[in-house]
Amino acid sequence: MRGMFGGVVAGLSLAAAVGCSCSAPPFGEGSLELLAPSDTFAVPEAGVKKELYFPTIVGAKKVMEHQGPGGTSETTETVTQVEEKDGMYTVTVERENMRKELTTAVYRVSARGVFLVSVGDAVNDPPAAVLKRGVKVGYTWASQEKMPTVANGIGGRTSKWTYYTLGPEEVVEVPAGRFRAVRVDAVGDQRVPRFSYWYAAGVGVVKTETQMGDTTWVSTLKSFTPGNSETPGEPKNDK
């Protein structure tokens, strides 16, 4: 499998990136509920740019817990740099696994969605759309993404097509709390594995489910620490 920054894993989640499908059905519906006005949620309304489905403040940190047949592991994802121009944020994220190995990914984030610019040495030109906003539920699109070079030298120049379908906004409960989240279903050229991602405003991916045959991997947000909104050059909290 590709690392979490590859392909559809633009939301910083599990090591679940190999592709995605416009016909992929939703996963995990039994653990979700429809949005209700009376619900309380983990991320406060103040200080969250509701139109941005990715952290855009330096220092923002996510801890993701990954569960699958091989056991449980964690990764830490930290926003290290943000540049803003005309409403488009270029966000650099460092991901650290339990072996203290680091991977760097760059995203572009705006009201139009989340776009993967690069993972390690693999650069997408144009950036690959992994979440689109301003389109209707059921809208499908395709993105061509490059795989980063891994230890055996594979990747770097290898491109894969990933097919996405925008799902509805749902409420998802993870160890970090309850979030309003937009679901995206995805699949690659080979139709397996299949993925579902849940994106929360200001946080990014809070849950990922990956299914290959009878095997399922699940990543959930264990904790989220907002960044320092007073860092020079960074967006301020809304008043």
Task: Identify whether 239 is part of a domain.
Answer: no
Where in the sequence is the domain holding 159, given as residue range(s)? Answer: 7-225
Residue-level pLDDT, tens digit, the chain, 239 residues: 433 433 334 333 333 333 333 333 333 332 233 333 334 445 444 444 558 999 999 999 999 999 988 899 999 999 999 999 999 999 999 999 988 889 999 999 999 999 999 998 889 999 999 999 999 999 999 998 887 766 444 445 567 889 999 999 999 999 999 999 999 999 987 776 899 999 999 999 999 999 988 899 999 999 999 987 644 334 333 43
CATH number at residue 47: 2.40.360.20
Task: Identify whether 145 is part of a domain.
Answer: yes
Task: Identify whether 218 is part of a domain.
Answer: yes
**CA-to-CA distance for 8 and 17, rounded, in angstroms?**
6
**CA-to-CA distance for 147 and 124, rounded, in angstroms?**
9
**CA-to-CA distance for 202 and 199, rounded, in angstroms?**
9
Task: Identify whether 181 is part of a domain.
Answer: yes
Which residues does 236 contact at the CB level (< 8 Å), separation at least 6?
Answer: 229, 230
Task: Identify whether 150 is part of a domain.
Answer: yes
Q: Which two tokens stand for residue 98?
A: 């339990």
Task: Identify whether 135 is part of a domain.
Answer: yes
Task: Identify whether 132 is part of a domain.
Answer: yes
Q: pTM above 0.85? A: no
Task: Identify whether 238 is part of a domain.
Answer: no
Task: State how many domains the chain has.
Answer: 1
